[in-house]
Amino acid sequence: MTARRSAWIESLLDANANAIAIAAERLGTGDPATLLPEESAIAHRWAPKRIAEFAAGRECARLAMQALGLPPQPMPPQPDRRPRWPEGLTGSITHCQGFAAAAVARTGALRSLGIDAELVGALEPDLWPRILGDEEQQWLARQPSPQQRLWATVIFSAKEAWYKCQNPLTGWFLEFHEARIHVQNDPGGQGEALFDLLVESRGIRLPGRGGVREGVICTAFTWRE
Ligand SMILES: CC(C)(COP(=O)(O)OP(=O)(O)OC[C@H]1O[C@@H](n2cnc3c(N)ncnc32)[C@H](O)[C@@H]1OP(=O)(O)O)[C@@H](O)C(=O)NCCC(=O)NCCS
């Protein structure tokens, strides 16, 4: 398996980005041989599983950069784990078991973006009170019980995507209860379910989008102005 352009994740980013972000995704285990020297110099001490997911994310990011017409460039992690994007670019990387993705955009087009992928149902019910606020838990309780674990994980994923979108711009470290996620509409989906999201966090309201495909949830936020 190698990385490929992701129409799915681009459709999640289109919610408020007008197709100005490019996304790529990859199934399977990442190949450490695809890392560039500046990246492997940092990663070589890590456990093999961590190196593989790191490589899978970088491979996706480089494919997306190539689609923007850019040559392969390193994206070493900064001390806080944020990728160092090449000058003039912003982006986001995510991985969960068997899946990795990245999205990039020119900073002239988007100030920031955040994407997050989770396996459906990954958020165990005993963690819900830590991750979800009162209103989110009340909303969840109104959903059909077989779907509650899915929606709890969607909200968790959206908080992670929002964190990755805002942190490079604001420097904020947010607690989970400092963001409230609204799931705006659920088409009740046959196949690829797509839904609109809204995050409210420290006075900011930003639309986003989420989707579920083949057991993977992905959520995305873009910050334009
Ligand atoms: C950073 C964090 C969001 C990553 O999410 P995750 O679901 O654990 O893991 P993912 O695979 O989806 O994403 C990991 C990628 O996020 C990116 N990332 C890490 N820190 C980041 C930051 N501060 N800003 C933007 N992106 C970041 C990296 O590219 C990382 O992959 P890499 O290390 O291979 O490069 C999460 O671990 C974290 O620390 N969260 C802080 C607390 C929080 O989320 N609060 C919720 C606020 S509402």
- Going by CA atoms, what residue is nearest to atom 21 of ligand 1? 82
pLDDT band at 135 (very low <50, low <70, confident <90, very high): very high
Q: Is the pLDDT of residue 192 over 60?
A: no
Span from the CA of 164 to the centroid of ligand 1 (angstroms): 6
Q: Give the separation between CA 17 and CA 10, rounded to whole angstroms.
A: 9
Residue range 118-223 in CATH 3.90.470.20: yes
Residue 16 is predicted with a pLDDT of 67
Best substitution site from 12, 75, 81, 216 to test ligand 1's pocket, by max atoms within 8 Å of Cβ?
81
In degrees, to the nearest 5, what angle opens at C-alpha 185 toward C-alphas 184 and 188?
A: 150
Q: Is the pLDDT of residue 146 over 80?
A: yes
Mean pLDDT along residues 71-99: 97
Start-end ranges of CATH 3.90.470.20 in the chain?
Answer: 118-223
pLDDT tens digits for range 159-182: 999 999 999 999 999 999 999 999
Residue 169 is predicted with a pLDDT of 96
pLDDT tens digits for range 15-43: 667 778 999 999 999 999 999 999 999 99
Q: Give the separation between CA 198 and CA 134, rounded to whole angstroms.
A: 17
Question: pTM for this one?
Answer: 0.96
4-115: CATH topology is: Ribosomal Protein L22; Chain A (3.90.470)
With a pLDDT cut of 90, the percent of the chain lying above it is 90
User: How does the average pLDDT of the chain come out, rounded?
Assistant: 94
Mean pLDDT along residues 98-104: 98
Q: Which two tokens stand for residue 34?
A: 């695809």
Q: Is the pLDDT of residue 186 over 70?
A: no
Q: In the 3-class helix/strand/coil scheme, how is the chain assigned residue by residue? A: CCCEECHHHHHHHHHHHCCCCEEEEEECCCCHHHCCHHHHHHHCCCCHHHHHHHHHHHHHHHHHHHHCCCCCCCCCECCCCCECCCCCEEEEEEEECCEEEEEEEECCCCCEEEEEEEECCCCCHHHHHHHCCHHHHHHHHCCCHHHHHHHHHHHHHHHHHHHHHHHHHHCCCCCHHHCEEEECCCCCCCCCEEEEEEEEECCEEEEEEEEEECCEEEEEEEECC
Q: Is the pLDDT of residue 191 over 50?
A: no
Span from the CA of 34 to the centroid of ligand 1 (angstroms): 21
Mean pLDDT along residues 139-152: 94
Best substitution site from 51, 92, 160 to test ligand 1's pocket, by max atoms within 8 Å of Cβ?
160
Burial of residue 78 (number of CB atoms within 10 Å: 0-12, 13-18, 19+): exposed
Residue 225 is predicted with a pLDDT of 79
The upper half-sphere exposure of residue 95, i.e. CA atoms within 13 Å in the direction of its Cβ, equals 22
Query: Edge-to-edge, what's the strand order for the sheet holding 22-27?
Result: 4-5, 22-27, 99-106, 89-96
Mean pLDDT along residues 134-153: 95
| Cβ–Cβ < 8 Å for 166, 204 | yes
Span from the CA of 190 to the centroid of ligand 1 (angstroms): 30
Q: Is the pLDDT of residue 190 over 60?
A: no
